Structure 1
Amino acid sequence: MTSTARRAPRILVRSAQVAIAVSAVADVFRAAAVRDDHLHRTGASESGFISMVFVYLMTLAIVLFLVWLAQSRRNAQELSPGASVPSRGRTIGMWFVPVVNLVVTRGIVLAIGRASSASWEEKRDTTLVNAWWAAWVGHSLVLLVASRVAPGSMAFLVVEEALMIAAAVLAGLVIERITALQSAALGAAVPAEPLAQA
């Protein structure tokens, strides 16, 4: 039986990982510039420019991550037809539903990971996804609380940006792990072409 699943192109995987990392670093500069502007009220457009660059980089990272996730979902479905893998619409759409995206998306990534290979290590791999998800949600919550309770607070800034960097690193590791599992499973599932008769 030949699988129609396709490995995610390495360029897509690496591009998603790099875009996520670069947008996390850009967020550190954005947060520092916004804090500086908040404290000194200079009216300079530097924080606006840095924020605009961050938005572009984050948008690119989101698009690349979702393209990778859609490809991974398709592969997982092909590799494990009986597994409970979310539909393509749910896999992508749930990321855009406020509040729901803080809960449901973790389960989507876990379902794709579990369906990707029998080599999924439940404790280790689930812990990796949970750590990424906790850092991402933690960053969002700290950012929300800081903006309401103590705008410009250095303590909140350090915590929120540490969580952002951690989420970016862990997202890169999640991408790497699921891609590696699928690549290995696809390598085993797709038979070699028969040799041509001489």
Structure 2
Amino acid sequence: MTSTARKAPRLLVRSAQVAIAAAAVTDVFRAVAVRDRYVHDTDASESGFVSMVFVYVTTLAIVLFLVWLAQARRNAQELSPEASVPSRGRTIGMWFVPVVNLFVPRGVVLDVGRASSASWEEKRDTTLVNAWWAAWITHSLVLVFAGRLAPGSMVLLVVEEVLMIAAAVLAGLVIERITALQDTALGAAVPAESLTQA
């Protein structure tokens, strides 16, 4: 019988991808509601409710993504014990350290991806991770600057939400790629006799 630790967690993968997509969609509604409050002086309770839903959905997406990343790190370490894979604490903790969280998480995801399989395609797969990270960081910066310099700006709202949706789609693709690499590598690592006993 094979160990469940030797398989990529498909339910977790799909849950993280769905939660990330839902967070991007609720962010669009949140941004529109907040803009309406600035521009049209609408009821703050509506934008407050939408913002509250966004916070809950985003928190769920963050938790599921970090659980997936911790599992992917564990699988990568098992697949490539000699590889430079960050510790579990660093894998999760560096997301919460200001300034560090602008740079280090990208490298951690790249380290996990590279250690996941010899099939990691340096140019294609690194470009995918870099595109996701660029969309995410640019979205975050536009969000901060738009709120301070031009609250209610439709142009900045559109740019911000396009970047958020792009980051969500690319995050889903990064999760899918690393999970697919680990599925293949973990499947190849299972001894034949354990498959016949299952």
Give CA-to-partner distance per residue, 1:78-97, whole Å, 9 cap, x none. 10000000000000000111
In 2, the alpha carbon distance for the partners of 1:190 and 1:98 equals: 40
- 1:48-59 to structure 2, matched below 5 A, reads 48-59=48-59
Q: Percent identity?
A: 82
Structure 1 gaps of 5+ residues are none
Identify the residue that residue 15 of structure 2 maps to in structure 1: 15
Identify the residue that residue 153 of structure 2 maps to in structure 1: 153
TM-score using structure 2 length: 0.95
Identify the residue that residue 172 of structure 2 maps to in structure 1: 172
In 2, the alpha carbon distance for the partners of 1:84 and 1:18 equals: 30
Identify the residue that residue 119 of structure 1 maps to in structure 2: 119
Residue 91 of structure 2 corresponds to residue 91 of structure 1: yes
Matched letter for residue 20 of structure 1: I
Give CA-to-partner distance per residue, 1:125-172, whole Å, 9 cap, x none. 000000000000000000111111111000000000000000000000
Structure 2 gaps of 5+ residues are none
In 2, the alpha carbon distance for the partners of 1:5 and 1:123 equals: 29
In 2, the alpha carbon distance for the partners of 1:66 and 1:193 equals: 34
In 1, the alpha carbon distance for the partners of 2:122 and 2:75 equals: 19
Q: Secondary structure at the match of 2:98?
A: coil
Deviation for aligned residue 1:8: 2.7
Structure holding more helix per residue = 2
TM-score using structure 1 length: 0.95
Matched letter for residue 108 of structure 1: V
Matched letter for residue 24 of structure 1: A
Give CA-to-partner distance per residue, 1:59-83, whole Å, 9 cap, x none. 0000000000000000000100000
Deviation for aligned residue 1:111: 0.2
Over aligned residues, Cα RMSD in angstroms?
1.5
In 2, the alpha carbon distance for the partners of 1:135 and 1:44 equals: 29
In 2, the alpha carbon distance for the partners of 1:61 and 1:149 equals: 28
Deviation for aligned residue 1:10: 1.0
Where has structure 1 moved over 4 Å in runs of 4 or more? Answer: 2-5
